[in-house]
Structure formats: C-alpha cells, structure tokens
Chain A
Amino acid sequence: MIRKDTLLAWPMIAFMVLFFLAPLLLLLGISLRGAEGGWGIGNFVAFLDDPFERGVLVRTLLLGAKVTGLVSLLALPLVMLYWHAGPRLRGVILVCALLPMLTANVVRTFAWVVILGRNGPISQTMLALGLVDRPFSLLYTEMGLIMALAQIELPLLLLPVFSVLNRADRATLDAAEVLGAGRWRAWFSAIFPQIIPAVLAGWVLVFASATTSYVTQSVIGGARLIYLPRFVYREVGVLFQWPSAAAISILLLISTGIIMLGLTMLARHERLRAHG
C-alpha cells in the first residue's frame, strides 16, 4: 500500500537508492576490504595513523574553510550593491554572477592558469606599477589556488543570497532607520539576519565544492599541494589500491559531511529562523 500523495516522489526515491545509496554502500563495503583479504577497518586506521595522510585531510578541510572565507569577503560588497540596485542593475549583477557558471569548470581553471602565471595580468600589472622587481607566478601556490577557487565558487554563495534578497522586506529597514539606527546598523540588524540561512546554505555549497574540486586543485595547486581528491585518484589510478581509496573517500565524505551538517543545523537554529 503506497500513499497516493507520495507517489510522485517514488521515482526520485528509487533513483536515489539505485544511483546514490547503493554505490555509497558499495564504496563502504570496498573500504572495509583488507589488503590480504578479509574485512575490517584497517584501511581507516592506516590512514588516520599516518601523520602525513592525516595532514592531507586537515589541509583539505582548511582549504575549504579558507575558500569559504574569501568567497564571503568577495560576496559582501556584491550583496550590498545588489540590495541597493534597481531592477535593471540587479539583472546585470545577476548575469555577471551567473556568467562564470555558464563555462565549464575546466575552462575557468585554465583561464586562471593564464591569470596567475608569471606572464599573466597580476604579475605584469604589479611589475608595471613597480611593486615587484621581476615577474612572479602564483601558480602552484596555495594563495593562487584559493584565489581561483574563490572566483569559481563565488556564484554558489551569491545565488541563494540574491534569491532571499529578492523577497526581503524593505519595510524592516525603514523601520530600523525610523527607530534611529544608522545605515549600516539598520542593514546589519534588519536585512542581514534575513539572509543568514541563505549564507549558511551558500557556505555549505562553497565548502563542499572547494574541498572536492579535483581539477582546479591539480592544475592550479600542482603536485606539491596534496589534497584528498588527488590522493584518492593516486590510490586508484597509480597504486590501484581500491580499498584504500574507498576508505579515504568515506573519510572525506564524513569530515565534509560533519561540517556541512553543522552549518545546516546552524541555519535551522531557532534564533536564526526567527529572523528568516
């Protein structure tokens, strides 16, 4: 007996079970397979016991946090501009925010190879301004990688916030100003709380995307900055250690999952929801 009002959801549920849950369980099963046969948590223990490998996990999570921080800083002025803009300018800002998403991640990444290189605009501009005495490269540096990832992931934070701003009540801002709040204080006390759930949702997306962005991490970060996605690829594509790769994938999933769950719970927090 199936409830009729849930009937439309069944194809999606079946799809998720077949193509998400089942492969995930398969991955978990493979991760528990021992190198010499048998089953156990040896692959997890081996990874967590090794300071180098543990360091790769921590570095990956820190990369996500740094990118999320920079994206937030970049998004703030754009969000303020969007709020104060008229319908036409809002349309322009929205298109500009969406434009990067219309090109493939690979294309955006290779554009950054040109931008960050020693012959790229950053290096050449600083050289022309006399800020440096010779060309320099930001490729294969963490700073370059964070810059590239921040630009690539920026729309993931902007879009949910813009969506909330479109529905935000301007009367609350007027009320705050009438009650004596200055412009900034009025904005931060009346509008900012309304967009917090959207910001947290954006952070979840940016964090998850930055920590798992294999192409950008490899091309911009190079081989000396090792993050978990490339570590997983190495285990599968070079060492052919599928159980170990599966265990590392599960650990990446769990660690990013915990952070995402924390952010999601924060977004649902009663005090924040009260403002939303």
Chain B
Amino acid sequence: MTFNLSRRAFTLTALSALAAPALISPTKALAQSGRVVAATFPGTWEDAYRTILTPMVKEAGYDLTIAPALAQDQIAKLMASPGQPPYDALLVSPGQSAILIEAGLIEKIDPTKLKNWDKLAPMAQNEWGPYVTVEVNGIAYNPEVVEKPSGYKALFEDPQYAGQVAQIGFGSNTATMAWTEINKLYGGTYDNMQPVFDLIKDHLKDLIIATSGSNQMTMYQQGEVAVFMASTGNVAKLKELGMPAEFAHPESGSPAVPVSIHLVKGASDPDAVYAYMDAAISAAAQTQLGEAPTAMIPTNTEVPFSSVVAEYVTPEQLAAAVYPDWAAINKHRAEWTETFDRIVSQ
C-alpha cells in the first residue's frame, strides 16, 4: 500500500523539523536581549555568583543566568560553536585568556561602561576584562595527619608525605603552576621541564594522581590523601565542611593567578554583560565574596581583606606572590600534558 503525502502535510513536517533544533537548544533560547549567560566555575563560585550577583544584575535591568563550566570547558564549548556562542561572558584565568584572544573569541572592553572601573586596583584593570579576584595557590594539608609542609620540596623529600600527596596533570591551572614552580626548584625552566618529569618518575609509587581538582577534594574528604595543591578558596571550603585543613605557602612564593570576566565576541547583549561585570567588581559584591566559603581576595580597592581571607593571605604575601608566565606555559602545555600522561600511565 502506498500513501500520497500532501503538500500541506509535507510543509507542516518540514516546518516542524526546522523548529526542532530551536526547541531543544536551551542556549539559543537563552540568547536573548536583556539577558546574560555567564560561565562560572562550578561549586562555590557558581553558588556565590548566583546568590550575590543575580539580584544586582536584576537591579540594573538584566537577567543573569549562571552556567557552571571549568575554564577549559568554556573554551572547548566556544570553539565547538563558532558564531553561536553558548555564553555571553566567561570567567577564566590568564592561561585561558591568551588562548581566547588568539582564537578571536573575546573582545576588548570599553571601561567607560563600568561604573566601578576606577575603584579597581591598577593590576586588575585588564583591557580584555576586569580581574574579579586573585587566586593564591599553595599547599592544602590535613594537620591531623601530617605536619605543615615547609614547601614543595618537602612533599618529595620528607618521608612523612609519601603516599599522602595528591597531584593532577597539566590540564589544571593550579597543578600547572605548582609543577612549573617545583620544576624551577629542581633547576628547570619553562623550556626545560625534564627535572620535574624525572622527579615524578622517581616518586611515582608515592604519588596519588587524581583526574581533576574536584576529584582531589573528594579524595581529601574521604581521607585518601592528606596533601594537595590548592587555592586558599579550596581550603576555606574544606574548613566550612568541617574538615581539618590548613594552607601552607610554598617556600618559593605562592603562585597567584588573577581571574577575569571576558566579553564574548557575538554576545547577545553586551550591555547586559557590562552590568554583570560591574556587579562583580562592585564593593558590595566583593565584600560578600570575601567571606567564607568563597573567601575571595578583592580587587576593588575599597574592599579590605576579610578576616577569613586574612587567615590565609596577607597583603604582603600577595605582593610577594609568583605570577607564572602563561605565554610560556601555553606554548608547552600540550606537550607537557602528553608527557605527564605517558609517565603516570600504569
């Protein structure tokens, strides 16, 4: 038996098929004027930004949708949909910013559209988007299991840390900064990472290699590890969860990394993105974000370090922090990632 498909039925079917992608594409549906879809790191960042910034952006007349995604995932998603960005604003570190700039995925901002721009510390006035905080990294440790590490070298040379330290590969910014600093301590440079790879090979049986920062936190909570490379925010979060955790500054200085908000090229409503940026750098928001569990270091000069932040970092320690060379890191990162995987693979 055969069936003649009428022109009307064919038209309806074709229209339905054309409409289907729009129905199932939430990012497309969200990409409207008056709304900003902002990528934020999952977890404490996501919760804090949603709670604190959404009402502020609303007050400015825009809707804010927080979309949790790791920095590398944000880039991967942007690259996957050129011309139709899934986000209007990104939250990344300089390592990722360099990739985004090179790929032409973000644009320079107009500071005159930010009321709070002049209140930012000069180092936070980045032409590609304001720095909203500076993450200070170091060593998180469980004081009930191990003594406070004197620095990175102790983790490899003091036997009390054997089998207690979690590490991750070069996919993570925190880990990458730690590895490059450790490499320097053992005589390496950005162009010669062999010392750190030799060190990993020599201590492989004592190292627990996790897949991500959050995976490390899970292992720490379960008592599987007692030490891991972390930001002050990670330690604040563990403490808030009732875990025994302390933060140690490495002897060579704590690697620091600013976190910036970027305006995505082709954002559906740039004014909404500016409203979001302005809220994130405002004194009101940064005062709240300075408290636990986010404990963010403010970049707005009107906001003093909160007592929680001061527990981990003093302005002097921040001034002595080490700012890695992300251009050099990005140049070698792929090669380091592959080498690391080959060394640790069982």
Closest to B341 in A: A226
Given contacts A4-B1, A236-B76, A240-B79, contact A222 B211 (CB under 8 A): yes
A230: chain B residues within 8 A (beta carbon): 211
In this assembly, does A223 line the interface, its C-beta being within 8 Å of a C-beta of chain B?
A: yes
- Whether the Cβ atoms of B345 and A219 lie closer than 8 Å is no
- Whether the Cβ atoms of B3 and A219 lie closer than 8 Å is no
Given contacts A52-B342, A218-B211, A226-B341, contact A237 B218 (CB under 8 A): no
- Whether the Cβ atoms of B341 and A234 lie closer than 8 Å is yes
Q: How many residues of B contact A (CB 8 A)?
A: 39
* Complex Cα spacing A137 to B210, Å: 14
* Complex Cα spacing A77 to B70, Å: 44
Contact with B along A1-39 (1 / 0, CB 8 A): 111110100000010001000000000000000000000
Which stretch of A114-122, A160-168, A203-211, A248-256 is in the interface? Answer: A114-122
- Whether the Cβ atoms of A223 and B224 lie closer than 8 Å is no
Q: How many Å from the CB of A118 to the closest CB on chain B?
A: 6
A44: chain B residues within 8 A (beta carbon): none
In this assembly, does B215 line the interface, its C-beta being within 8 Å of a C-beta of chain A?
A: yes
**Residue in A18, A110, A223, A237 whose CB lies within 8 Å of B17:** A18
- List residues 1-45 of chain B with CB under 8 A from any CB of chain A: 1-5, 17, 20
**Residue in B1, B170, B218, B341 whose CB lies within 8 Å of A110:** B218
In this assembly, does B337 line the interface, its C-beta being within 8 Å of a C-beta of chain A?
A: yes
In this assembly, does A179 line the interface, its C-beta being within 8 Å of a C-beta of chain B?
A: no
In this assembly, does A239 line the interface, its C-beta being within 8 Å of a C-beta of chain B?
A: yes
- Whether the Cβ atoms of B344 and A2 lie closer than 8 Å is no
**Residue in B1, B171, B222, B341 whose CB lies within 8 Å of A113:** B222
In this assembly, does A238 line the interface, its C-beta being within 8 Å of a C-beta of chain B?
A: yes
- Whether the Cβ atoms of A237 and B76 lie closer than 8 Å is yes
Q: B-contacting residues of A (Cβ < 8 Å)?
A: 1-5, 7, 14, 18, 52, 56, 110, 113-114, 117-120, 137, 139-140, 142, 218-219, 222-226, 230, 234, 236-242
Q: Would you give 21 A-B contacts (Cβ < 8 Å), ordered by A? A: A1-B4, A2-B5, A3-B1, A4-B3, A14-B17, A18-B17, A117-B223, A117-B224, A139-B222, A140-B208, A218-B215, A222-B215, A223-B169, A224-B344, A230-B211, A237-B70, A237-B73, A238-B170, A238-B171, A239-B334, A242-B79
Q: A-contacting residues of B (Cβ < 8 Å)?
A: 1-5, 17, 20, 70, 72-73, 75-76, 79-80, 99, 168-171, 208-212, 215, 218-219, 222-224, 333-334, 337-338, 341-342, 344-346
